[in-house]
């Protein structure tokens, strides 16, 4: 969202808004060669998800809050938007609540979790 968030969010990832603004500026510069193919959506992930149609996305990468409930909510929200044979991936598998949410979600839908370093991905069956 590129801004500091609620007081109940106690992680280093919840950076000050000045840091978030600097990160946004860096991101804009890095992505400059790819305009106008890129869109930056400054919304909570659950709101941003409403912009996309079901079964439409080739690749989704999650890197938000680390609590089990939040990760599970993001997974449940974005998974139906991924197209068949598309990828849902994310960061922070070294955080036990993130890992637990990913493994529980994957088990609930019967897909295998692929891991590399701190990342994971799951693939929608075709």
Ligand X SMILES: C[S@@+](CC[C@H](N)C(=O)[O-])C[C@H]1O[C@@H](n2cnc3c(N)ncnc32)[C@H](O)[C@@H]1O
The residues that touch ligand X, with contacts defined as CB under 6 A, are 1, 5, 13-15, 44-45, 63-65
Q: Work out how close the CB of 56 gets to ligand X at its nearest, in angstroms, rounded to a whole number.
A: 19
Q: Which residue is nearest to ligand X (CB)?
A: 13
Residue 11 in tokens: 């992680």
Q: Tell me whether residue 44 or residue 96 sits nearer to ligand X (CB atom).
A: 44
Nearer to ligand X, 5 or 123 (CB): 5
Dihedral sign (CA 45, 67, 61, 85): negative
Shortest distance, position 84 Cβ to ligand X, whole Å: 26
Between 8 and 53, name the residue whose CB sits nearer to ligand X: 8
The DSSP secondary structure of 8-59, one letter per residue, reads T--STTS--HHHHHHHHHHHHHHHGGGTTS-----S-HHHHGGGS-TT-EEE
Contact by Cβ (8 Å): 76, 48 = no
List CB contacts of 70: < 8 A, sequence separation 6 or more.
Answer: 64
Residue with smaller CB distance to ligand X, 5 or 87: 5
Shortest Cβ 20–ligand X spacing (Å): 6
């Amino acid at each position: 969202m590129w801004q500091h968030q609620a007081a109940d969010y106690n992680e280093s990832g919840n950076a000050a808004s000045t840091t978030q603004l600097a990160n946004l500026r860096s991101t804009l510069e890095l992505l400059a060669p790819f305009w106008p193919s890129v869109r930056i959506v400054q919304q909570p992930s659950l709101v941003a998800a409403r912009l996309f149609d079901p079964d439409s996305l080739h690749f989704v990468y999650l890197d938000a809050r680390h609590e089990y409930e939040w990760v599970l909510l993001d997974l449940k929200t974005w998974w139906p938007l991924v197209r068949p044979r598309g990828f849902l991936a994310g960061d922070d598998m070294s955080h036990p609540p993130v890992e637990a949410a990913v493994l529980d979600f994957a088990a609930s839908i019967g897909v295998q979790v692929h891991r590399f370093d701190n990342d994971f991905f799951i693939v929608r069956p075709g």
